[in-house]
Structure 1
């Protein structure tokens, strides 16, 4: 099944995964012009939880998982008053003119990050959904050292049915959260390789190249789903996208606290096409739609158990 775009995604491997307290961080390659979405679910949803998606430091989406709701939720764009504006990786526009861009702009620190903040909440009555404010970033000064960096732009709005919203307050006012944070830092593959985060591809000897070519030929001829068919799992648009390393089996991450490492799975996927304490309710407005009418295929990567949260997924999709 397709999660809202006509190209099926493939599991996308995180690089340099780190747990610090209740925060998991990893790095992922981004491709300018590629749309993406974020989805997550809870393994054992005994209490309601709120998820907020922060992109480049801005709160641009939210969702509620109710007690007993095992289905994942998905956010593929910002819901504005004009409709859904899809998340899209884009190249920064640089300038050396300080009158046009401040080289010391503090908001530049958050560029290149997708953060999911998860919090246990109490649900209140329904409220009006106001929509999110979005604005594409303008020029960035060269001295900000953002050469080759990407940011998230917001595509043209598409009409959506009227969204529901619900008020929330922290489940425990003494511990308002967020209780778990997932941070995906995105850069172009070339930048990640230059920074030593992603290893450079190793050159193969001619004999190895011939053997691999023969193996790939056998796979192509025997797999009816390969070669770009709509149902295939290996649909590629390789223009401008270097080959990534072969996917490895998921590795266990360590937070240094084995007793806390329960029930958490973190994963990402890419397309081959290109709260303060509450005293009364309502306190927060939360988007109460689950998956924007889209189904979400199962993905497996980067397993990590922690608390009762189950999966945080960034999914990169091409139209």
Structure 2
């Protein structure tokens, strides 16, 4: 699990934390970056916790694919795990985060409509905050859920095949708490989870080529869920599907690409082996009687 100072974070699917690969830490910017395997149609939960109590309030700010989706507040001197499974649409309902296939379009009108800089990233910022004397009168359910999940222009997708959307609305049982407006004092840490299909992670050599799936051994179950100054549990409502199907189209393409690369390397090695086993032959040098180059003429070597 990625960690910085007393803070750690994870992405959970079907009750277990996803494995992280190529974890890097930038001490100067207080940023931890890693890669995780994502699977289309699977819902996920964003988790964070700290190992020691604090003397101040802490608040998380979560961004998926470059769009803010809210966060959670943790009280002083608490060390419990805080989790966010989606975006609440009412006091009793929620739409969970879900990995989905990337929707593409060739309409040039949408080229500048959506910012794709954060596409493929789940970012979690943890801030030191203070409550103000002002009541938070903002509508907690006014978030435009689908603004960030529209179609992407095919020229903007880069190497992405997935995006985060929201699953169907589900009932929740959460104890809501009255909230004050917050002053953000300082940024404590930023966790960046770069999600890709397991096939793409293999093809890019981020995970071992023989890794077919991600297991659950040794992963911790999530036992409490919170949402934006809410406390409570969603029970089993964070599951979107029970099947673990990794035979998606983009993964098959990545596997074929990887196999072709291995075959090409093998072919080159065989040719080099045959060449080294033959005695070297003396090369016959062709001599020219004179040069056909006109004085002052320049030869374009790129055409040879």
What TM-score, normalized to structure 2?
0.61
Query: How many Å separate the matches in 1 of 2:216 and 2:48?
Result: 25
How many residues end up aligned between the 2 structures?
A: 216
Paired residues of 2:22 and 2:206 also in contact (CA < 8 A): yes
Answer yes or no: is the 8 Å Cα contact 2:198–2:213 preserved in 1: no
After superposition, the C-alpha distances for 1:266-315 in whole angstroms (9 at most, x for unaligned) are x9989xxxxxxxxxxxxxxx92113x42479xxxxxxxxxxxxxxxxxx9
Q: Give the CA deviation at 1:144.
A: 1.5
Partner of 2:30: 22
Q: Distance in 1 between matches of 2:168 and 2:235?
A: 22
After superposition, the CA RMSD in angstroms is 3.3
Offset of residue 195 of structure 1: 2.2
Instruction: Please point out which of 43, 52, 58 is paired with 2:51.
Output: 43
Partner of residue 104, structure 2:
94
Is 1:135 equivalent to 2:105 in the alignment? no
Structure 2 equivalent of residue 157 of structure 1: 169
The structure 1 segments of at least 4 consecutive aligned residues displaced by more than 6 Å after TM superposition are 267-270
**TM-fit CA distance, 1:194:** 2.2
| In structure 1, distance between residues paired with 2:52 and 2:181 | 20
Q: Which residue of 2 is the match for residue 167 of structure 1?
A: 180
Structure 2: gaps of 5 or more residues: 1-12, 243-304
Greater relative contact order (Cα < 8 A, sep 6+): 1
Q: Distance in 1 between matches of 2:199 and 2:221?
A: 19
Unaligned runs of 5+ in 1: 1-6, 203-241, 250-266, 271-285, 297-314
Give the drift of 1:31: 0.2
Which position in structure 1 is the counterpart of 2:192?
A: 183
Q: 2:213 aligns with which of 243, 250, 270?
A: 243
Mark the CA change 1:52 to 1:318 in structure 2 (over 3 Å): closer, same or farther. farther
Q: After superposition, what is the alpha-carbon deviation per residue over 1:132-172, rounded to whole angstroms, capped at 9, x for unaligned? A: 3211622222222445521111112234457334224446x
| Cα distance change, pair 85–8 in 1 and its aligned pair in 2 (3 A) | closer
**Deviations, residues 181-217 of structure 1 (Å, cap 9, x unaligned):** 1111101111222222223118xxxxxxxxxxxxxxx
Question: Larger C-alpha radius of gyration, 1 or 2?
Answer: 2
Aligned positions of 1:1-319 closer than 5 A: 9-20=15-26, 21-46=29-54, 47-81=56-90, 83-99=93-109, 101-102=110-111, 107-124=115-132, 127-128=136-137, 130-131=140-141, 132-135=143-146, 137-160=149-172, 163-170=176-183, 176-201=185-210, 242-244=212-214, 287-290=228-231, 292-294=232-234, 318=241
C-alpha distance in 2, partners of 1:60/1:148?
Answer: 21
TM-score between the two structures when normalised by the length of structure 1: 0.58
